[in-house]
Amino acid sequence: MKNLNQLLLDFNHKQNFKDDDFYVSKSNFYTYELINKWPKWEKNFLNISGEKYSGKTHLVNIFLNKFKGVRLDFKSLSDESLKNIKVHQNIILEDIDKNLNERLLYALFNVIDQDSKFLIMTSINPISEIKFRLEDLRSRTKNCLLAKIEKPDDELMFALILKNLSDRQIIMDKKLINFIIKRIDRSYGKIFEFIYKIDMISLKKKKSIDFKIINEALENQSE
């Protein structure tokens, strides 16, 4: 977990972020706190939801590094994988809203219940909003802890922009970062897209990123 001052310090001295780095703000505080309170949960089922690039997989990695477990996704969930999870206390199932086999998911819920295991599921929308066809499954999903990662606040946007710049080995003045924050959509995906755009324009023009390049990217974004 990083604070903003530490992020700025790291940014000035090294041009990449380790996988363990995770910036906590109001947008993701509840989810971050919840995964670190395991196993003291009210229920054995946790659904982490949030838009693409919001940090769901990063949080799952933090959990696995700390508490161990097995990771599955909508493609790898099978009758065979249900047998293999018996030796694990914690099961991670990612992307439950991507054409998942509902019969297998329902069977997984039963395994978790019967063996007193823990299941963390990730999705873009909360599991309570997913329109499952299987009635028994819809009933079971009501018994889940819900942790939604909200849209990024200003502090988190600043941190994410820093991280994206760092990944691309770009140093940018804080004034430019604040200028970007006030003008792009409050979306995790848009942050990634916008940094990519200004980097491409900068490389094409063979110039450092400045207000002109940022404004050009903003104009292209609105077209």
- Residue boundaries of the structural domains of the chain: 29-148, 152-222
Strands (E) across 86-195 are located at 90-94, 118-123, 145-148
Residue 18 has pLDDT above 50, yes or no: no
pLDDT band at 10 (very low <50, low <70, confident <90, very high): very low
Terminal-to-terminal C-alpha distance of the chain: 38
The mean per-residue pLDDT over the stretch 62-66 comes to 93
Pair 91, 120: CB distance under 8 Å: yes
pLDDT of residue 2: 52
pLDDT of residue 75: 86
Nearest-angstrom CA–CA distance, 46 and 41: 9
pLDDT of residue 7: 46
188-194's contacts with Cβ under 8 Å and 24+ in sequence apart are: 188/50, 188/51, 188/52, 188/53, 188/54, 188/55, 188/152, 188/160, 189/51, 189/52, 189/53, 191/53, 191/152, 191/157, 191/160, 191/161, 191/164, 192/53, 192/164, 194/221
Residue 1 has pLDDT above 80, yes or no: no
Q: How many CB atoms neighbour CB 159 within 10 A?
A: 24
Residue 8 has pLDDT above 50, yes or no: no
pTM value is 0.85
Q: Which fold has domain 29-148?
A: Rossmann fold (3.40.50)
Give the model confidence (pLDDT) of 112-129 as tens digits. Answer: 999 999 999 999 999 999
The mean per-residue pLDDT over the stretch 158-181 comes to 93
pLDDT of residue 14: 39
Q: Could you give the 3-state DSSP secondary structure of residue 172? A: coil
CATH architecture classification, 152-222: Orthogonal Bundle (1.10)
